Structures are given as C-alpha cells and as structure tokens.
Structure 1
Amino acid sequence: MSTILIIEDETRIAAFIAKGLKSAGFTTRHTDSGREGIFIAMEEDVDLIILDVGLPDIDGFEVLEQLRGQGLSTPVIMLTARTSIEDRVAGLSSGADDYMPKPFSFEELLARVRLRLRVAVENSSQSVNQLTHKDLTLDLRTRKATVNGIEVDLSAREFTLAETFLRNPGQVLSREQLLNTVWGYDFDPGSNVVDVYVAYLRTKLGKERFQTVRGMGYRLT
C-alpha cells in the first residue's frame, strides 16, 4: 500500500484529498508546514508527495528545492492557485513531476497520482543495480560511489562496508555484524578494523553520515 504525504495548509482541501486517497486504497500523511513536510519526506517511507505552493512558513518551491537538494527522488505533484506559465515552469524546473492548478477535480488528481507512482516503480526496477541514500549513490555493477554526482574513490573493502550501511539505513549495526558481513570472520574483541574503516568512509563520504551509537555500533543517518 503506497503512502502519500500531503503538504497543504488549507484544512478543507487537505481533508478532501486525504479522504479520496484513502477511499482509493492509499495511506496518507498530512502536515500544514513546509519544514515539517521536509522532515517527514526525508525520514519516513513516503511514495509520493502532494505539495501546495502557498504554505505559511516556507513556500512549496523552497520545500521542493530542499528535497531535491538532499537527493530525494520521490515523485512530487504541486498544487497551487497560481496559474501563470512562469509559475508552472518554476515548479517543473525545481524538480516537480507534475503541476495542478486549483481548483481541480479529484478524479484528475487521482489519475496523476497513479501515473506518477507507476512511473516511479518502472524507474526503480531499472535501478536495481544502484543503492541510494540522500545524495550518496553506489553503483553495484561498476562498483562506483558518487556524492552529489561526484565520483568518490573507494577501495573494495570500503565499498562493501558502505553497501552494508546503505542496505540497512537507520539501523544500528554492531561491530560483530559488520565484521561478519564485510570481512567474513568471527568477531575479535581486540580488533579495531571496523572503527578504522568507518573513519575512512567518514573522510571520503561525509562525517555526518555515519553515527556512533555508544556501546552498540554504527548506523547510517
């Protein structure tokens, strides 16, 4: 069941959309804040975003720019009362997948939601050889890593360690788990090889990505 995030500050419109989507078999999340919408989109498992332009804190264009800037590829359908060609171009140029002016019919919105979800599934099926987390991408076929589209040179062991983290985003991985998966031998309490290689990844891919969980291990944030 797909989850759709509705970022819309008009309660009546948000309730109208949510009710229709639930009737069509979707799960919905709603917020009236652009900043909270960014947090939910980045931290939760969301399949599509319906984004209003006129939000009370930051407008939808800025929300979209921040999401795309952080590497989020989730489909976005923008809603707005603005009908000028310039606004439509601005939305699509910022990374929107579709753009609907208000007022709109729910049937048309539903058709566009289903289309964008289908396209997203087709695209993901073509990318089974890639792992992506925010702006970090690993190509499993070529064994190349990129950050913000810039290639980063990783050794074979570093790549395998990074792959292990990307296959388990947000999950705390113990040193024993990482040793068994990446090095293939039983845990040696005296070995600091995991710590050394996590330090390598922090240097090459970004210190903030790999969080130390005291007494437990590491996780990809």
Structure 2
Amino acid sequence: MDDDVWPEVAGWEQKWVLAASRVGHINYIPPSYERYSPRRPMTAMNLGVGAVVGGMAMAQTTEALACVGYMDTRFGRYGHEHSDFSIRFLRAGFGGVRCPVEDGIHNRFYLLDSGIKLLDAVSSASHEDLENNGKLLNELQKEPIYRAPWYNDEEMREFLAEFGPGFSEMNDPPFKGKTFDINSYYQNHEDVYLSGYDAFSHYIENGIRENREL
C-alpha cells in the first residue's frame, strides 16, 4: 500500500483478503484511470478485469508471493515496478489471465477498488525515469519470474541491515558446528535441570547471556 492510500471504512481490508484468497493476487485501479477501467464498483466477489493496474494497493497470498518474490530493485526510484510485479504474478498463474493475440501476449489483471481512496500527494515522477523503466519493463519479461530482494551485494547489505543485529546473529548460531546435547547441558547446570526448564530453551533465552557452557 502506498502512503497516499486512505481506508474509507472499518474492515476495508477484509474485501482485499477475500479477493486475494480467490485469485492469488489483486491490484487497485483508481478513478483517474477511468478510460482503462471496467465497470464500477469492483468487489471481492465481482472483480474487475482490465489491461492496466494502478499499483497503489495490492494484495496477494503467501503461495503466490513465494512464486514471485520481491519487486525488482532495478526499477529504482519511480515507474513501472508495480506493473512488472503484477505481470510476474500473471506469469505464475495468479491474479489474471494472459491472452495470446497476433502481436504477442496481452495481460488482463483482476482489479478491486473497494474500501480505499487516494489522497492528494506530490508525485515523484519524472519523464526520464518513466521512459527508462518502460524500456526495462519490456526487457525483463524474458527473465525468470522470481526476484530476490536485492540485485547486488550493496543492496543485500542494505536490505539485511533493516532487520537489526539480531537477524545477523540468527545467521551465525551460537553453537555453530556443534550438536546441542540436552543431557550434557543438564549435567553441567543442575539448577536448570531442577527447575524443570527445557534445556535448549534455557540456553537460548538465558544461557548465552549468562555465558553457560554447552
């Protein structure tokens, strides 16, 4: 959901959850896209179908997301990243249909416009970004459907840094290369055994901090 999307009614998200559960992926199209729009209103049980998506709000199932991955970071600051995202859902079999025609493949997306509206906001668009990303959109249609959350080492470091130090600690477990021996831990720490505390849980929650031996 973009930061200029505003819920209009309580429970608005339930329609989006239902729609996504039915078709795997659903996208928003605002009233300003009227010439591309199907009839309105579009509901979870009576979805719209159109050739253009707005990208201001989307919903998808975990199954669909596992097939598609993340938005492609090569689109950069603005333009067409949401189109590529939704097209990849279609390629994976979610959120619409792909229609073969004489000049290639036409995409038809399942659309929803219920429960939200767009606020007035200053756009960050630039003609140069749109033009460059439009070319990139066409080039990427031949690439695999799944995209990782980063495209290079710098983006990987930036992405992982957002999770904080705890995430890195989980990638480097405290007993790396060893087998956690429950009996040995209880023998070394009789107080843990007498307390009835699960050995492994105690070590993770308290033992590491207390510098207890394995």
TM more than 0.5: no
Q: Which has the higher strand share?
A: 1
Give the TM interval when normalised to the shorter protein: under 0.3
Q: Report 1 or 2 for greater relative contact order, CA contacts < 8 Å, sequence distance ≥ 6.
A: 2
- Determine which structure has more spread, i.e. the larger CA radius of gyration: 2
| TM-score, length basis structure 2 | 0.27
| TM-score, length basis structure 1 | 0.27
